[in-house]
Amino acid sequence: MMNNFKKLSGIAIIMAVAATSSCQQNTGAKNELKNDMVKKSKFLSEPLIKEIYTADPSAHIFNGKIYIYPSHDIESGTPENDNGDHFDMKDYHILSMDSINGKVTDHGVALSVKDIPWAGRQLWAPDVAFKDGTYYLYFPVKDKNDIFRIGVATSKSPAGPFKAEPKPIEGSFSIDPAVFTDTDGSSYMYYGGIWGGQLQRWNNGKYDANGSKTDSGKENEPALTAKVVKLSKNMLGFDEAVKDVVILDAAGKPLLTKDHDRRFFEGAWMHKFNGKYYFTYSTGDTHFLASAIGDSPYGPFKYQGTFMNPVQGWTTHHSIVEVKGKWYIFYHDTQLSNKTHLRNVKVTELRHKDDGTIALIDPINK
């Protein structure tokens, strides 16, 4: 009996060990599969929210929280063309997070095209600045003549809702406003975009509705470039004549139109690091993010190179912000939809190298 019991318990132990080890093998196999999947994931980072499509994220720290001001992509059914008519967005939603990996809150509609008295269509990439208790939302939208202008709306809360001023900012045109406030409190707007952003249609302060759809034609001339202007003290207008953001190559010459891998296209951003001004932008049809460094918010800026390789999708648009001593880039791709005009915002760390240049980021794992 005793022997039989011993035998039986011996068998039970062997079976338990076998079961445990097969369990361990299963867990091991599952882990390997998981690791393999993680290893093989195509994307460097994941969408911040999946409930709505978002793009062009301008990130800021307000009251110790991260606020993201993106475009709100929708399927409007407008056919795709070189003017970007398929980017037919109708409102903005503001997102916030307590920390980089924290929960993302969607604060709902902050401003609608129907509530902007002068607007026609296409609410594109916005940005926000804060001064003396008021938040200022700067946004590009086509007016009723189908010309992109830049408007401003105000709120007492960083999450909105925002109320638009009755008219666009006087003297404004084109797209993608990005407002940088320097350490002395002065704020500057960087803006502009070629092709659908219409910059090539502005000559001597006048808009040519029949102008070229692209920047081709003057290949050996200095490329069209972003604009920079100091904002007035009340943040509602321009304080001076608009200037060009001059980007110089290593020989001190302005980048040329034919230099599609390096010339400015759209999506300007400014951040200051170690006393230097970093002008960063999208090269558009070649899909890079590039940086140029200067000693003043006005430039000139010396071209440094690509710091982000192309994302999945046609457009590439970003912002750079410091959060608790680390730098991050907010950007978008089309991971959720695989459609050019239905994008999703993401974030990943950005590193300034010892020589001051920005380390190259690859948003797609190879």
Binding of residue 333 to ligand FUB (CB under 6 A): no
Order of strands across the sheet that contains 266-273: 247-248, 301-308, 289-294, 276-282, 266-273
Tell me which of 44, 48, 56, 231 binds ligand FUB, using CB under 6 A: 56
Provide, rounded to whole angstroms, the least separation between the CB of residue 237 and ligand FUB. Answer: 22
For ligand FUB, give the closer residue by CB, 71 or 319: 71
Per-residue binder mask for ligand FUB (CB under 6 A), 1-20, x = binder: --------------------
Provide, rounded to whole angstroms, the least separation between the CB of residue 301 and ligand FUB. Answer: 19
Peptide bond into 300 cis (omega under 30): yes
Known catalytic membership, residue 266: yes
Per-residue binder mask for ligand FUB (CB under 6 A), 288-317, x = binder: ---------------------------x-x
Judged by CB under 6 A, the chain residues 36 through 55 that form the site for ligand FUB are 55
Provide, rounded to whole angstroms, the least separation between the CB of residue 71 and ligand FUB. Answer: 4
Per-residue binder mask for ligand FUB (CB under 6 A), 217-256, x = binder: ----------------------------------------
Binding of residue 281 to ligand FUB (CB under 6 A): no
Active-site hit among 56, 73, 127, 333: 56
Binding of residue 169 to ligand FUB (CB under 6 A): no
Query: What span, in angstroms and rounded, lies between the C-alpha atoms of 166 and 118?
Result: 7
For ligand FUB, give the closer residue by CB, 124 or 278: 124
Per-residue binder mask for ligand FUB (CB under 6 A), 187-206, x = binder: ------x-------------
Asked if 93 and 106 count as a contact pair (C-beta separation under 8 A), the reply is yes
Peptide bond into 158 cis (omega under 30): no
Query: Tell me, what DSSP letter sits at residue 164?
Result: E
Instruction: Please give, one letter per residue, the 3-state secondary structure of 284-348.
Output: HHHCCEEEEEECCCCCCEEEEEEEECCCCCCCCCEEEEEECCEEEEEEEECCCCCECCECEEEEE
For ligand FUB, give the closer residue by CB, 176 or 333: 176
Asked if 265 and 245 count as a contact pair (C-beta separation under 8 A), the reply is no
Instruction: Please give, one letter per residue, the 3-state secondary structure of 77-123.
Output: CCCCCCCCCCCCCCEEEEEEECCCCCCEEEEEEEEEHHHCCCEEECC
Per-residue binder mask for ligand FUB (CB under 6 A), 259-278, x = binder: -------xx-----------
> Residue 310 to residues 39, 145, 191, 282: CA-CA distances in angstroms?
20, 33, 21, 10
Sequence-separated (6 or more) residues with CB below 8 Å from residue 51: 106
Number of residues located near ligand FUB, criterion CB under 6 A: 13
Query: What span, in angstroms and rounded, lies between the C-alpha atoms of 281 and 265?
Result: 7
For ligand FUB, give the closer residue by CB, 271 or 317: 317
Active-site hit among 208, 266, 322, 354: 266
Binding of residue 125 to ligand FUB (CB under 6 A): yes
Give me the active site residues, please: 56, 266
Interaction site with ligand FUB (CB under 6 A)? 55-56, 71, 87, 124-125, 175-176, 193, 266-267, 315, 317
